[in-house]
């Protein structure tokens, strides 16, 4: 009998302990892992957006979360729908170094969106000079897998990197055009004009209080200018170029009072050491919170899926010559492009989940980012 009493007491105590633990535990006990792909399958679709005020037609790519379980991934050539442009891209892809250029996507084209109970964050991507809307599709896919909508437009027309294309020029006028493209994408996403020709995407609901932007190279300056002029953008990231620089004096980093994340390639032979020093100055001058990640042995296109596709996009692929301080002229091999992209995926996803979703676990990770071999992160939080 005494043993039975002891057993009953132990059972009651265990039940009370478990109840207390359940009360103290957060409702969602699933740890967020912004270091890896999220819970959704990334999907994407090509759309056309007409800006009647500027008489400008934009090819747009949208990435979004899906619950589709069919096989995913296709050749990059399918980003181009026009047969002539597709053939131009195919020729370049056939000659591209497979160890550098990303040849396959990791998303499902035209898949139905996941049915979600809450509106989603929106992130706009601005591509590098004469790159194209899909130049960093791996970054967009990762963000979509974490329940975000990503939009990107062709600022410079179709296949601007092909030798026969006119492309765009580095000018204040083109910067203005790019910034207006970004603002138009936000407008069209919020009022659903973007989905006029894709009614199945009207199920996607965007939270107007969760809008961010990121850009690579000229795109970094573009999102900086857009964020300076459009207070709907609440977090911004710049890759491989300073947002504020002497070429474009109408962008002032101190005019931004939102979270900023910079990614710098230490062996960036495109903007050079002068450009990297300006990027570091941007970090020091920006209003906190601000982060700076420096990628060792990385070139200008080490974070881009188009790295190595053309001679212009070569820096970041294979072997190069160092230009970083105290290492000028040394021969070296660039870090793998897959590492550059994966590292950037981790930083960007953590940044946007933390700043746009106000996710406490992501915020804790962002404020104390774990080390990644080959990179270093500094931050100014206050």
pLDDT greater than 90 at residue 18: no
Share of the chain above pLDDT 90, in %: 83
* Closest residue by Cα to residue 334 from 296, 290, 375, 361: 296
pLDDT greater than 70 at residue 12: no
Tokens representing 19 are 């109840």
In a domain, 31, yes or no: no
In a domain, 16, yes or no: no
d(CA 256, CA 380): 15
Which of 14-28, 97-111, 307-321, 342-356 has the weakest average pLDDT?
14-28
Residue 53 belongs to what domain range?
A: 39-380
Query: Which is it for the CA torsion 183, 189, 192, 198, positive or negative?
Result: positive
**Cα separations (Å) of 191 from 117, 202, 223, 322, 379?**
19, 10, 21, 48, 36
d(CA 41, CA 108): 8
* pLDDT (0 to 100) of residue 346: 98
pTM beyond 0.75:
yes
* Residue whose pair of structure tokens reads 């990435």 in the numeric block: 63
Q: Judge whether 99 and 337 are in contact, CB under 8 Å.
A: yes
In a domain, 6, yes or no: no
Q: Which residues contact 296 (CB under 8 A, 6 or more apart)?
A: 266, 267, 335, 374, 375, 376
SS3 356: helix
Q: Judge whether 79 and 46 are in contact, CB under 8 Å.
A: yes
pLDDT greater than 90 at residue 4: no
d(CA 190, CA 226): 16
Q: Judge whether 263 and 344 are in contact, CB under 8 Å.
A: yes
* pLDDT (0 to 100) of residue 369: 94
* pLDDT (0 to 100) of residue 30: 52
The H-assigned helical ranges of 70-171 are 83-95, 137-145
**Cα separations (Å) of 268 from 148, 247, 263?**
30, 18, 11
Model confidence pLDDT, tens digit, residues 238-247: 999 999 999 9
* pLDDT (0 to 100) of residue 275: 97
Q: What integer is the mean pLDDT of 138-167?
A: 94
* pLDDT (0 to 100) of residue 67: 86
In a domain, 95, yes or no: yes
* Closest residue by Cα to residue 361 from 20, 29, 40, 25: 29
SS3 235: strand
Model confidence pLDDT, tens digit, residues 319-335: 999 989 889 999 999 99
d(CA 117, CA 357): 15
Q: What integer is the mean pLDDT of 59-75?
A: 93
Bridge partner residues of 262 (DSSP): 238, 292
Q: What integer is the mean pLDDT of 193-214?
A: 94
Q: What integer is the mean pLDDT of 160-179?
A: 93
In a domain, 144, yes or no: yes
d(CA 176, CA 127): 14
* pLDDT (0 to 100) of residue 10: 39
- The number of domains in the chain is 1
Pairing of strands 260-265, 290-295: parallel
- For residue 70, how far is the Cα from the chain centroid? 25
Model confidence pLDDT, tens digit, residues 40-64: 999 999 999 999 999 999 999 999 9
pLDDT grade, residue 138 (50/70/90)? very high
Share of the chain above pLDDT 70, in %: 92
In a domain, 33, yes or no: no
d(CA 241, CA 381): 21
In this predicted model, which residue has the larger pLDDT, 252 or 12? 252
Bridge partner residues of 206 (DSSP): 120
The CATH number for 201's domain is 3.40.50.1820
Q: Which residues contact 375 (CB under 8 A, 6 or more apart)?
A: 293, 294, 295, 296, 343
Pairing of strands 375-380, 331-333: unpaired
Query: Which is it for the CA torsion 128, 80, 95, 295, positive or negative?
Result: positive
* pLDDT (0 to 100) of residue 301: 97
């Amino acid at each position: 009998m005494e043993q039975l009493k002891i057993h009953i007491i132990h059972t009651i105590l265990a039940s009370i302990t478990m109840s207390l633990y359940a009360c103290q535990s957060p409702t969602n006990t699933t740890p967020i892992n912004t270091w890896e792909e999220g819970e959704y399958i990334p999907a994407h679709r090509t759309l056309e957006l007409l800006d009647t005020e500027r008489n400008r037609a934009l090819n747009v790519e949208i990435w979004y979360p899906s619950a589709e379980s069919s096989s995913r991934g296709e050749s990059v050539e399918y980003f181009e729908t026009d047969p002539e442009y597709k053939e131009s891209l195919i020729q370049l892809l056939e000659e591209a170094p497979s160890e550098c250029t990303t040849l396959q996507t990791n998303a499902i084209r035209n898949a139905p969106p996941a049915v979600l109970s809450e509106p989603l964050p929106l992130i706009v991507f601005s591509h590098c000079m004469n790159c194209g809307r899909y130049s960093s599709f791996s970054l967009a896919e990762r963000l979509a897998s974490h329940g975000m909508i990503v939009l990107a437009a062709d600022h410079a027309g179709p296949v601007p990197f092909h030798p026969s294309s006119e492309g765009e020029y580095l000018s204040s006028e083109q910067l203005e055009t790019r910034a207006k493209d970004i603002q138009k994408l936000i407008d069209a996403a919020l009022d659903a004009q973007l989905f006029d020709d894709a009614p199945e995407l009207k199920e996607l609901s965007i939270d107007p209080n969760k809008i961010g932007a990121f850009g690579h190279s000229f795109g970094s300056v573009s999102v900086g200018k857009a964020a300076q002029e459009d207070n709907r953008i609440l977090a911004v990231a710049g890759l491989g170029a300073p947002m504020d620089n002497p070429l474009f004096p109408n962008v002032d980093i101190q005019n931004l009072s939102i979270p900023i994340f910079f990614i710098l390639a230490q062996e960036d032979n495109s903007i050079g050491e002068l450009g990297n020093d300006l990027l570091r100055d941007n970090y020091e001058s920006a209003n906190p919170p601000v982060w700076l990640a420096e990628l060792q042995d990385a070139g200008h296109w080490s974070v881009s899926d188009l790295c190595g596709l053309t001679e212009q996009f070569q820096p970041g692929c294979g072997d190069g010559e160092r230009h970083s301080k105290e290492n000028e002229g040394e021969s070296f091999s660039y870090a793998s492009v897959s590492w550059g992209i994966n590292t950037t995926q981790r930083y960007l996803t953590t940044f946007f989940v933390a700043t746009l979703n106000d996710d406490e676990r992501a915020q804790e990770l962002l404020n104390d980012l774990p080390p990644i071999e080959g990179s270093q992160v500094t931050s100014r939080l206050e």
